[in-house]
Chains A and B, each alone.
Chain A
């Protein structure tokens, strides 16, 4: 595709409900990242995938958050039992690779984000 796409663009949910956020990376990009951005805050790292595996889940805020990636392409971030503090913009990014042995020295291409509001 032309770029990273995310859906939905906006999601309003009631506290306690589960939500799924979807990310379609650029075709051929093996690495995929999820970030969270609260109002006026920086980019908070959540998780990344290399292929279908997630070597680093250290950024997930709690066990209510999970993510998966299938077929080395689409990824889904799931938040269970949403809380008001989960309200934020969730950004997905992809990159061509993840620098063998030394980490992510590839530029990341970001999607437009999903704005999640928990009422």
Chain B
């Protein structure tokens, strides 16, 4: 039931792009994305809802393919501040009223 994130780790130079994927074996209602910097609490980035509504974050975008139960997070022109671990959290479509289940995370390291 835990979503699978890939890749596990990404190393970038400033200005490069990255894509982080999240997939589930269950039908999903929504996908949430959070970023956690070392030693800090996770911080909300984005929610993608079934039906296409997206609540976003500046300079970071995402997609949600409901049929494939997959979401991708796109980080373009990466900055040093993008470094951290990215978690996707999935909310199942059935049964309703279930809590988020988070993946194991993708660690992103951006260097100058």
A, B co-complexed: yes
Number of interface residues of B (CB under 8 A): 28
Closest to B102 in A: A43
Q: Is B84 positioned at the interface, with any CB of A under 8 Å from its CB?
A: no
Q: Is B64 positioned at the interface, with any CB of A under 8 Å from its CB?
A: no
Report the Cα distance A81→B55, complex, angstroms: 43
- Scan residues 86-119 of chain A and give those whose CB is less than 8 A from a CB of chain B: 91, 93, 98-99, 101-105, 107-113
Chain A residues with CB under 8 A of B98: 56, 103-104
Closest to A112 in B: B41
Closest to B98 in A: A103
Residue-by-residue, is B97-108 near A (CB-CB < 8 Å gives 1, otherwise 0)?
Answer: 111111111000
Check B44 against A109 for contact (C-beta < 8 Å): yes
Check B42 against A91 for contact (C-beta < 8 Å): yes
Chain B residues with CB under 8 A of A91: 41-42
Report the Cα distance A91→B49, complex, angstroms: 25
Chain B residues with CB under 8 A of A44: 102
User: B92, B97, B100: which contacts A108 (Cβ < 8 A)?
Assistant: B100
Chain A residues with CB under 8 A of B101: 45
Most buried by B among A43, A55, A101, A113: A43
Closest to B41 in A: A110
Chain A residues with CB under 8 A of B41: 4, 91, 110-113
Q: Is A42 positioned at the interface, with any CB of B under 8 Å from its CB?
A: yes
Check A42 against B87 for contact (C-beta < 8 Å): yes
User: B29, B87, B102: which contacts A103 (Cβ < 8 A)?
Assistant: B29
The 3 closest A-B pairs by CB, nearest first: A110-B41, A42-B104, A43-B102
A/B interface sample: 16 pairs, CB < 8 A = A42-B2, A42-B102, A56-B99, A93-B42, A99-B97, A102-B91, A102-B97, A103-B91, A103-B97, A104-B99, A107-B55, A108-B32, A108-B100, A109-B44, A112-B40, A113-B41
